[in-house]
Chain A
Amino acid sequence: MKLSLSGKTIGNMTACLAVTLMALGVVFVFSASAKIDVEYDLAKFYSYPEFRQAVFFLISILILFGLSLINYRILAFKSGNWKGWIPNPAVWLVFVSIILLVMVLIPGIGVEINYARRWLRIPLGPASINFQPSELAKWSLVLFIPAVSALLGEKIKRFKNFAILCVVIGLIAGLIVIEDFGTAFFVAFVSFVILFIAGAKWWHFLTPLPILAILFTLAIITSPERRERIKTFINPDSSTAQTSGYQVKQSLIAISTGRILGKGLGGGISKYGHLPEDTTDFIFAIIAEELGFVGVCFVILLFIFFLVLGVIIIGRCKDDFGKLLAFGIVLAITSQAVMNLGVVTRLLPTKGIALPFISAGGTHLFLTAAAVGILVSIAGRAEDA
């Protein structure tokens, strides 16, 4: 018996799954924000991250469904016509990303949080948003590379074309790496995988790899904080309260004390000042603490389900651009999830990387929702062509 589902149904399922994950995020951002003796002053609604997250969630839903209505093919380049690039949103996004990435590095414009200048503050009345350009840059590449690859077709196998794309990726990753090693590494990784799948010759990758390797090694060596992170990953017991090792240790305490059934929703203790970044990068530890292994399985299965839907969408899509774009989106979201979960469970060294859909933060939620919106659009248009 063959289960036959229409592209629209697959798209709707994907959208519902994304909304479920985001809703889960809202619940746990709220739970993880718990503080003793906090008295909410609802006149300052937007100053509480947990309430902002709920608002972000609603906006994200609008973004998701809004973008799913738009045909994703507007992101593709009109073949052979370089002038056709000018109105293309993917190109604009890459340009805007580069400009914002430069801006964020300028003291006074970029906002520093936890000793890293990664944010731009966008004043929106009471609800000013800290915007993270590196997030935008990541998604701009996920849109841009498939578009260029699809346009080039077999010509991507030419080294000249490959090199031009490498320069764009290198420029963006280079700008990000100054303040955010983890995201830079991730952006480079996702970009190159998309390029590879697009058909670039495997030995072409050997040329930028040494340069990137040197770049990242330098980035690690020059930063005492990163060296510390690697050190505490290799030798976790040498950590003190001020180091990242402390954070991971608290994360492991949170996860393991949740045991199989968890301490109950809202019943976690680690969020009360013990585990730093509990609403953002380490929110999974809070889920594991409060819902136990059962909750862990639930979250992981949701992501796997998302992956499966992604594979179906890729398989059903008939044009290379759509396939590549869908692959890029699915890869970006799920591999980021794996990295985040790897850090939280100390399978990987610490780096600041959010859990898609779930971690607190407007930028990442809006952009992830937008990406899923595009994915839904791809799914829904698999039958036309």
Chain B
Amino acid sequence: MRNKFALAILFLVTAGLAAVGVRCFYLQYFEAGYYDGISVKAQKSNFLERPRRGAILDRRGRILAASYKVDTLFAEPRAITDIKKTAQELSTVIGIGPIEISKLILTGRNQGYIPIITDAKLTDEQRKQILKIDGIGIESGWKRYYPLGSAAAHAIGFVGTDQEGLAGLELKYNKEISGSCGRSIFFSDAARRPVRLGRFESFAEDGSDIITTIDATIQEFTHSALLKQFKAFQAESAVALVMDPCNGEILSMVSLPDFDPINLKDADAKSLGNHILSDPYEPGSIFKPMVAAWALETGSINPNDSIFCENGHYSGKGFGTIGEYREGGYGTLTISEILSHSSNIGMAKIGQRMGAAKLYEGVKLFGFGRKTGIDLLGEEPGLVRDLKKWNGYSVARVPFGHEVSVTSMQMACAYCTIANGGRVIKPHLVKAVVYNGGKKVEITEPAQTSSFVISNKTAQWLVSKAMVEVVKNGTGKSAALENWQVWGKTGTANIVNPNGTYDEENYVASFIGGAPVDNPAVVVTVSIRKPNKHLGKGYAGGAVAAPVAAEILDKTLTYLKVEKLKKEE
């Protein structure tokens, strides 16, 4: 019996135990950080709680865009050990064939995330069963819903698959609407199911709601009226805009062709642009009232003046030849008649009386050549050439809307100025942002200036005399309504080819006007680009655009309960 050896051996065993102790201290004190780093990938998972995206409401609180919760059932292939078993188990819960599930999992590119059902509506029981299956997870997300569909698509815009705004108000107010994600880190098991909370970072904060100036009902009127005409005339594009002239609120905004904001895959790329903001064009005759107003304001002409309109043929050195739309032209016309018959020669002569500097000043004062500052992205400033580049041609042509390019938005604002008695307005779509479910409301309506471009007197004369005349006896007769006195101006503008010449085939047919005469409730802008002339239904503003404006006005004024004219017995 070797007692000493026995002791020695047991001492060695003790030394072994001590060595393990030292090893553990080394691992747990010095190597802890290193192994912590390794463990992160497998043992921790980030949990992102997506906030509810704020709703976009119309001026009466009706929903234009809102988010609802959806569940996405997904597989994480790298956490699946037995695809067959997983597919079989999942199949019994959700009723999709196991072969289809296996196929999805095997063919997926992202080994960390393969959606199986993206729009799942799961019961609690299903949810419980699914979470027991290895490598299958449920992710709650949000989807956007647009009750008006394509009718308000351009104003409201749309969101991407990540629920971030990509166009319209969704983009412009993305910061306010989107809210912030809740973040936390969870310890997870090998199948990546959460075991318990590791570190909490933040709660999800829902996005703010925004209240817009849009009226869903008016938006629908506008859309349906414009769409009808757009189709009937096989036009290339069309826009319609209803504004409150007093404060620049946009009650409706339609641009055609339009798109379905929740089904962008099928949307034509051409349909995505908002023609109201991004499509400057030579306005043609609808530009005339502003020039006339400025001429009156600056005293270049008097309301009672008469101008000889050269019987339809006006030419001279330095300004070329100007004709009229009507065969044979006109003789002597009053200022009011120049507008109601839309005489180009009359307007050219008014321009010549004013001179380039004054004319340029007026055009700029009405806001042309710069952005209106509406709260949407993608606005074009249009083009008013520098005064230095103006010549005799310019002075004779800008007055009837040539040699300038404008957006429908600018036109609408200019008409609002005339309609409200000469005040400059700032167009806008958002009235207020409602934070925190109503705890804080921020009014975002821009301050309206009290700066006047033209005097109240001039503005009133233009509306109640000249532009009423357009509808009563001039080119805009088809805009007339039984219950209200409509005023406005038609336009049939030539389209400038890319090479600088005018397209003789195609026109932009427009009508801008409002009602009633005293304190107009709304200003309606309608522009239809390239109505098909060969249909034989006409192509001029009076024929194409004015009826649309009339329909919109009729329905809107009825809806707004604007006082009707007293019937003359």
Chain A residues near B (Cβ < 8 Å): 36-37, 193, 196-199, 249, 252-253, 255-260, 269-270, 272-274, 288, 292-293, 296-297, 300, 303-304, 307, 310-311, 314, 320, 323-324, 327, 330-331, 334-335, 337-338, 341-342, 345, 347
Contacts and interface: CB of A to CB of B under 8 A. Distances in A.
Contact of B195 (A36, A196, A260): A36
A335 B13 contact: yes
B68 interface: no
B1 interface: yes
A256 B38 CA distance: 11
Contacts of A327: 6, 10
B131 A253 contact: no
Interface stretch (B185-193, B368-376, B536-544, B561-569): B185-193
A316 B399 CA distance: 124
B102 to A, nearest CB: 21
B16 to A, nearest CB: 4
A36 B193 CA distance: 8
B166 interface: no
A258 B28 contact: yes
A269 B187 contact: yes
Contact of B28 (A199, A288, A310, A334): A288
Interface string B107-132: 00000000000000000000000011
19 contacts: A36-B189, A193-B9, A197-B2, A198-B2, A255-B24, A256-B27, A256-B34, A257-B36, A260-B28, A272-B189, A272-B190, A293-B24, A296-B21, A310-B10, A334-B10, A338-B13, A342-B16, A347-B19, A347-B23
Contact of A252 (B25, B27, B189): B27
Contact of A273 (B1, B2, B39, B191): B191
Contacts of A292: 28
A274 B43 contact: yes
Nearest to B79: A273
B190 A342 contact: no
Of B17, B23, B131, B195, the most chain A CB neighbours within 10 A belong to B17
A307 B14 contact: yes
B24 A288 contact: yes
Measured as residues with beta carbon below 8 angstroms from the partner, the interface class of chain B is 35 or more
Given A256-B35, A272-B189, A274-B42, A293 B14 contact: no
Nearest 4 A/B pairs, CB to CB: A273-B190, A272-B189, A338-B16, A256-B35
B5 interface: yes
A311 B43 contact: no
Interface of B: 1-3, 5-7, 9-10, 13-14, 16-21, 23-25, 27-29, 31-32, 34-36, 38-39, 42-43, 131-132, 187-191, 193, 195
Contacts of A274: 42-43, 189-190
B195 A338 contact: no
A345 B16 contact: no
B556 to A, nearest CB: 59
Of B38, B43, B188, the most chain A CB neighbours within 10 A belong to B43
Nearest to A289: B28
B6 A347 contact: no
Given A36-B195, A37-B131, A331-B13, A197 B27 contact: no
Given A338-B16, A341-B20, 6 more contacts: A252-B31, A255-B24, A272-B189, A334-B17, A335-B16, A345-B24
Contacts of B36: 256-257
A307 B1 CA distance: 19
Nearest to A314: B6
A215 to B, nearest CB: 23
B191 A260 contact: no
B548 to A, nearest CB: 62
Contacts of B188: 272
Given A197-B9, A314-B6, A342 B20 contact: yes
B128 to A, nearest CB: 8
A338 B10 contact: no
A256 B37 CA distance: 11
B9 A293 contact: no
A338 B17 contact: yes
A347 B24 CA distance: 10
A331 B20 contact: no
A330 B6 CA distance: 11
B247 to A, nearest CB: 59
A199 B1 contact: yes
A252 B39 CA distance: 10
Contacts of A198: 1-2
Contact of A303 (B1, B2, B17): B17
A256 B7 CA distance: 33
Contacts of B6: 197, 314, 323, 327
A291 to B, nearest CB: 11
Given A37-B132, A257-B32, A324 B19 contact: no
Contacts of A307: 10, 13-14, 17
A36 B196 CA distance: 10
A304 B14 contact: yes
Contacts of B193: 36-37
A307 B2 CA distance: 18
Nearest to B20: A341
Contacts of A304: 14, 17-18
B195 A272 contact: yes
B43 A269 contact: yes
A78 to B, nearest CB: 20
Contacts of A249: 38
Contacts of B21: 296-297, 300
A118 to B, nearest CB: 24
